[in-house]
């Protein structure tokens, strides 16, 4: 039984000697092995072989494990603490299911049980075994695309462009170490929600595909914590869900050449965003939260920006309807809601409530005003919005009451 992963063996005596470990994990092949001492029963051991030390270092297993640390086993990490020698063996970047299987075999060996799987012999590990540790793979034509062979699980950077893919290959979604996934120039129509299980994914490139949406499930996945760069240019996306603004780590967002008719109106929540391009879409105006962005680069060239209306659209009602009044209260007091508690369509209404300049919310009772903003107020470098040399764009704002509208009339001028 073998396990491919990264290993760092740290002696617990180091701190007592005033030393610290180097903190560097190396690629290794771990095997369970068996030795038969003369006249004694066979003894199971753990063999850690690295590229430098192919014969490996052997550790006794029977009744020699002080503790297992398996909290992060689903992420392919675990630690085995041995009694003698007093070392901690840190395992990382392993395939989580292989790791689980390996650890239970190690546990059995510790208890002195017979390990069912055949124990590896003490032959040195071949150099070819270490080639499975590839971290980068670039495929740019259909003929190079692996059909029968799996992708090496250790991949951190995978590019498969011009491969004619119509969907995301499920085998890619098992690559838990992926940081960069480039699926540009394919024919992908839909992203599976399981893309959100790639917990380390920082860069996702989907340039030039057939995507029509970016799902709410993806916006609410672990991508919230990891995703920094997203390229959705040259697709067929009409709108992004309001939850998109929960991808707070985003710094680079490319939306050029889509069919966007609006930005998610909470876009101002993307406080880390530095690079935003949405050229050649169908944006008629920007949401007022756009003013909260702080960008280095902004490109909104070639959109169908409309001239701001002179007169505001007034949708006020007095007294407020029961729905409007309760929705405002729920949102203002941040009372949690979900489709388990209230009907789905009410959740959707609450999710898309408009924010007034005063910070309160409104559903269907509001004043809508348009103004223009100079894009230089939110970005250092601004690509001109049209061939006329303009850097101004229309912004739509909502007001929850007449008072709020009157107070901000100056802003609208
Ligand atoms: Zn207000």
Instruction: Tell me the DSSP string of 35-54.
Output: E--TTS--EEEEEEEESS-S
Strands (E), 63-147: 65-69, 78-82, 87-92, 136-139
CA 341 / ligand 1 centre spacing (Å): 27
Token pair recorded at residue 220: 């609410």
| pLDDT score for 116 | 56
| pLDDT score for 119 | 55
Rounded distance between C-alpha atoms, residue 275 and residue 260, angstroms: 18
Rounded distance between C-alpha atoms, residue 45 and residue 50, angstroms: 16
Residue 217: phi and psi, rounded to 5, are: -60, -40
CA 127 / ligand 1 centre spacing (Å): 68
Residue that is written with structure tokens 């546990």 in the block: 107
CA 217 / ligand 1 centre spacing (Å): 31
CA 290 / ligand 1 centre spacing (Å): 18
pTM score, whole prediction: 0.77
Q: 219: Cβ–Cβ under 8 A, 6 or more apart, which residues?
A: 241, 243, 244, 246, 247
CA 399 / ligand 1 centre spacing (Å): 5
Rounded distance between C-alpha atoms, residue 250 and residue 230, angstroms: 7
CA 329 / ligand 1 centre spacing (Å): 13
Rounded distance between C-alpha atoms, residue 354 and residue 359, angstroms: 10
Give me the long-range contacts of 50-58 (CB less than 8 A, separation at least 24).
Answer: 50/7, 50/26, 51/26, 51/27, 51/127, 51/130, 52/26, 54/124, 54/125, 54/126, 54/127, 55/124, 56/29, 56/31, 56/124, 56/125, 57/9, 58/33, 58/122
Helix (H) or strand (E) holding 351: helix 344-351
Rounded distance between C-alpha atoms, residue 339 and residue 323, angstroms: 16
CA 367 / ligand 1 centre spacing (Å): 10
Rounded distance between C-alpha atoms, residue 74 and residue 64, angstroms: 25
Q: Are strands 87-92 and 78-82 parallel, antiparallel or unpaired?
A: antiparallel
Token pair recorded at residue 42: 């066979």
The answer to whether residues 202 and 224 touch, using CB atoms and an 8 Å cutoff, is no
Rounded distance between C-alpha atoms, residue 346 and residue 44, angstroms: 61
pLDDT in tens, the chain (413 residues): 888 889 999 888 877 777 666 668 888 888 888 776 676 777 788 989 888 888 888 899 888 999 999 999 988 899 999 998 999 999 998 888 889 999 998 998 888 877 655 555 556 677 777 766 788 999 999 999 998 888 888 899 999 999 999 999 999 998 988 999 999 999 999 999 999 999 999 999 999 999 999 999 999 999 999 999 999 999 999 999 989 999 999 999 999 999 999 999 889 999 999 999 999 999 999 998 999 999 999 999 999 998 887 788 898 888 999 999 999 999 999 999 988 999 999 998 998 888 898 889 999 999 999 888 999 999 999 998 887 778 999 999 999 999 999 888 765 55
Cβ-based burial of 369 (10 A; exposed 0-12, middle 13-18, buried ≥19): buried
CA 316 / ligand 1 centre spacing (Å): 12
Query: Which spans in 188-273 are helix H?
Result: 216-219, 223-226
Rounded distance between C-alpha atoms, residue 193 and residue 324, angstroms: 33
């Amino acid at each position: 039984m073998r396990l491919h992963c990264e290993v760092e063996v740290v002696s617990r005596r180091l701190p007592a000697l005033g030393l610290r470990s180097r903190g560097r994990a190396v690629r290794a092949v771990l095997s369970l092995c068996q030795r038969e001492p003369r006249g004694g029963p066979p003894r199971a051991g753990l063999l850690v072989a690295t590229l430098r030390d192919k014969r490996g270092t052997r550790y006794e297993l029977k009744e020699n494990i002080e503790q297992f640390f398996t909290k992060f086993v689903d992420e392919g990490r675990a630690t085995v603490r041995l009694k003698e020698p007093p070392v901690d063996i840190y395992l990382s970047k392993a395939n989580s299911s292989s790791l689980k299987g390996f650890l239970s075999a190690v546990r059995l060996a510790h208890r002195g049980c017979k390990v069912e799987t055949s124990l590896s012999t003490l032959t040195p590990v071949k150099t070819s075994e270490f080639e499975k540790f590839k971290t980068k793979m670039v495929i740019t034509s259909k003929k190079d695309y692996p059909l029968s062979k799996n992708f090496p699980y250790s991949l951190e950077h995978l590019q498969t462009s011009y491969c004619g893919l119509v969907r995301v290959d499920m085998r890619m979604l098992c690559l838990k170490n992926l940081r960069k996934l480039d699926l540009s120039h394919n024919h992908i129509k839909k992203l599976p929600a399981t893309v959100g299980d790639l917990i380390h994914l920082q860069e996702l490139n989907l340039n030039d595909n057939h995507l029509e949406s970016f799902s709410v499930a993806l916006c609410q996945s672990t991508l919230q914590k990891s995703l920094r760069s997203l390229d959705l240019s040259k697709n067929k996306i009409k709108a992004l869900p309001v939850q998109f603004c929960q991808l707070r780590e985003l710094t680079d967002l490319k939306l050029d050449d889509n069919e966007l008719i609006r930005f998610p109106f909470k876009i101002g929540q993307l406080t880390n965003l530095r690079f935003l391009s949405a050229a050649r879409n169908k944006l008629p105006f920007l949401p007022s939260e756009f003013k909260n962005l702080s960008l280095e680069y902004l490109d909104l060239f070639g959109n169908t920006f409309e001239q701001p209306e002179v007169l505001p659209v007034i949708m006020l009602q007095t007294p407020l309807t029961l729905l409007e009044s309760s929705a405002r209260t729920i949102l203002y007091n941040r009372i949690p809601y979900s489709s388990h508690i209230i009907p789905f369509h009410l959740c959707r209404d609450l999710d898309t409530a408009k924010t007034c300049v005063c910070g309160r919310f409104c559903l269907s009772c509001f004043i809508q005003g348009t103004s223009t903003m100079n894009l230089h107020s939110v970005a250092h470098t601004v690509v001109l919005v049209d061939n006329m040399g303009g850097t101004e764009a229309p912004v739509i704002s909502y007001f929850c009451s007449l008072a709020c509208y009157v107070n901000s009339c100056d802003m609208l001028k």
